[in-house]
Structures are given as structure tokens and as C-alpha cells.
């Protein structure tokens, strides 16, 4: 065997190995938001279009939830794990046990039962009136999120960033009632445009901080959102 033949064979082997490595790098990260955290890019959006990072204040109301505040750390962590790698958007969250609305940002409630009925997983009315069932019932997706409540909250927050339903794939974040979490390029760009108006002015940080847990609710000076005034979106 000549040196030239050996060189060609070695080149083919290396090329094949490199192609296989690329395939694994592309395919494996989309198996779940957690596994894909640094490089998810399910939307195919170039890095420069996810810059700067938009950090949106989000008050997470759990006082009426059937879960303890500590239970929500993993759930709300997955919300950012869905949004940050795909869209360059994350939520600076504070877990509270009252109904006081945030001055600048968004408000979301987790509840054991929603007033619209047992088939309702969540709904969005406006940025200060978002509600999610503690334990949503979701259909399967080829590449599912881990926590039903996290996926449903991420979906409702998508409505808060001007996104509409998109029902053409179970993997879509904006599909109703599935474990899907992926965004396409158009959704990323539209959400970023809305996020730019809601985000904190300081865009230097590359991620959001760990959520804090506020002390128990106060009995005075609370601006509450009455439960019976909350709008229902039955498609969720």
C-alpha cells in the first residue's frame, strides 16, 4: 500500500468521524431543554441575533399553590432553560406568597385549580395576569420538556411576548397542551422585539440570577388580582 493510498484512507476515516461527531452535537442537544442548556439553538437562530440578553422581571405568585415555594426552583429553572438558549431572553424571578403586582415586568400565578374548569392548564390575559395549573396535563412531544408546569408557564409567557399559537408540530412551545418547547426563527425575533420593551436596561449580564423567595404575605398595602376577574384561554 502506497503512502498516498494510506493518506486517502486516513482522510476518509477522519472525515467520517468528524461528520459523526457533528451529528451527535446537533442531534443530542435537542433531546431536552436541560441537556441542551448551553447550545440548544432549536430555532436555528444565529448567536448574534440572540444578543443582547434581555432580562425580564417576573414575580412568581405561589401563595395559593398546592406546592411549597421550594418546589418551584426546578420548575422555574426550566422556564429560563427553555427561553434563554433559544431566544436570548430570561426572567429575573422572585417567588412570592402574596398577590402584590410587580411595578415593572410580568406576574404569574401557580394554582391547584383554575376557575375555568379541569381541562384548563393555563391562560394569559395580560402581562400582570398569567395563571398556570400546578400540575398541567400535557400530550407527548418527540423532544419533551421535563416539567409540565414549566412548559405551560413558558408557553403563557410566550403570549406575554406577543406570540400566538402554532399548532403544526407537537415540539412547538406555542402548540396547545403538549410538552413541546421549541421556537422558530420568526417567533424568536418577534419575542425579542417585545422583550426589548420589558427588559431591564442593563444588558451586560449573560444570564438571570437564581430566584429569591420572599417572606410570607403582608396583610396591608397589597394590590391583588381577584381570582374571579381572570380571563380564560381554553386553548391552553
Distance linking the first and last C-alpha atoms of the chain: 66
Point out the least confidently predicted range of 49-53, 172-176, 198-202: 49-53
Residue 73: pLDDT band (50, 70, 90) is confident
In this structure, which CATH number among 3.40.390.10, 3.40.50.720, 3.30.200.20, 1.10.10.970 belongs to the domain 32-229? 3.40.390.10
Summarised one tens digit per residue, pLDDT across range 90-104 is: 999 999 999 999 999
Helix (H) or strand (E) holding 132: strand 129-133
Q: How far is CA 60 from the centre of its chain?
A: 14
- Quick one: 225 exposed, middle or buried, by C-beta within 10 A (0-12, 13-18, 19+)? middle
Percent of the chain with pLDDT over 70: 72
Report strand pairing: 122-126 vs 129-133. Answer: antiparallel
Mean local confidence (pLDDT), 127-143: 96
Distance (Å) of CA 144 to CA 138, 140, 154, 180, 198: 10, 7, 13, 5, 28
How crowded is residue 184: how many other Cβ atoms within 10 Å of its Cβ?
A: 19
SS3 54: strand
pLDDT of 231 reads: 42
Q: How far apart are CA 139 and CA 11, in angstroms?
A: 46
- Residue among 105, 96, 143, 137 at smallest CA distance from 120: 137
- Residue among 84, 127, 116, 96 at smallest CA distance from 231: 116
Residue 48: pLDDT band (50, 70, 90) is confident
pLDDT of residue 85 exceeding 70, the answer is yes
Which of the given ranges, 13-22, 37-46, 167-176, 205-214, has the highest pLDDT on average? 167-176
Across the chain, what does the average pLDDT equal?
80
Amino acid at each position: 500500500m502506497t503512502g498516498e493510498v494510506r493518506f486517502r484512507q486516513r482522510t476518509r476515516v477522519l472525515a467520517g468521524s468528524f461528520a459523526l461527531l457533528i451529528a451527535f452535537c446537533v442531534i443530542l442537544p435537542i433531546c431536552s431543554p436541560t441537556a441542551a442548556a448551553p447550545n440548544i439553538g432549536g430555532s436555528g437562530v444565529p448567536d448574534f441575533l440572540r444578543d443582547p440578553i434581555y432580562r425580564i422581571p417576573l414575580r412568581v405568585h405561589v401563595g395559593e399553590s398546592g406546592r411549597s415555594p421550594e418546589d418551584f426552583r426546578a420548575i422555574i429553572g426550566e422556564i429560563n432553560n427553555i427561553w434563554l438558549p433559544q431566544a436570548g431572553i430570561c426572567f429575573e424571578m422572585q417567588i412570592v406568597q402574596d398577590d402584590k403586582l410587580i411595578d415593572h415586568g410580568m406576574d404569574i400565578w401557580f394554582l391547584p385549580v383554575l376557575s375555568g374548569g379541569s381541562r384548563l392548564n393555563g391562560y394569559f390575559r395580560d402581562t400582570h395576569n398569567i395563571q398556570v395549573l400546578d400540575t398541567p396535563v400535557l400530550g407527548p412531544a418527540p423532544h419533551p420538556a421535563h416539567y409540565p408546569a414549566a412548559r405551560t408557564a413558558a408557553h403563557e409567557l410566550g403570549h406575554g411576548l406577543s406570540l400566538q399559537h402554532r399548532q403544526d408540530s407537537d415540539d412547538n412551545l406555542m402548540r396547545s397542551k403538549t410538552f413541546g418547547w421549541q421556537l422558530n426563527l420568526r417567533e424568536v425575533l418577534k419575542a425579542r422585539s417585545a422583550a426589548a420593551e420589558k427588559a431591564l436596561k442593563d444588558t451586560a449580564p449573560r444570564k438571570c440570577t437564581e430566584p429569591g423567595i420572599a417572606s410570607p404575605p403582608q396583610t396591608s398595602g397589597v394590590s391583588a388580582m381577584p381570582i374571579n376577574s381572570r380571563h380564560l384561554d381554553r386553548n391552553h
